[in-house]
Structure 1
């Protein structure tokens, strides 16, 4: 059954990195984010940086568990609409979903490789 999605008021400060704001029904959502995060005490950029293929993390297969049990479900929608008064969100990031409505399948993936490089005074 399709229903109306009614939102009276919404305030979102930030939506980023393959994130989705969906108001209404949808069949399928798939979003993906891959990122390298480099933090350096001395800001330098090396020309050979940024190749995601150099890191196994980004090509590794993510195992998806199989669902073995069947689910019997009865839904009784008394009202023909989904009604929301007010939503306040600070941030939606890294393949996240904010949805008001129905959805059959959501598949989200985020992979981030962090580097932190600091200068030390150790003498070897």
Structure 2
């Protein structure tokens, strides 16, 4: 069955409204993109959507209870909830430096979870 989906392209600052007609993973037509990046974005969004995952991780003995983290590259959208569960169950010991790899190769995606700020140890 042919389906139609309208997306707001985020590949460039224009934010084109792109309409995609597709059947399963087969793209039939893409309309509305002002640049070639819009076509690539729409194809990826239909066939294999991915996202950077920004979140927080629990910190033991830190100045704060949570440290902001993100994936080092986009991961499949279908893996988001499972990745959040893994991150939510992890507790990291302070001190932490921005860029520290806190979880390697999450869900075999090739993406690491890294700290996006320094987290000093709690001052006693």
TM-score range, shorter chain: under 0.3
Q: Tell me the TM-score normalized by structure 2.
A: 0.23
Normalised TM-score (structure 1): 0.23
| Greater fraction of residues in helix | 2
Whose strand proportion is higher, 1 or 2? 1
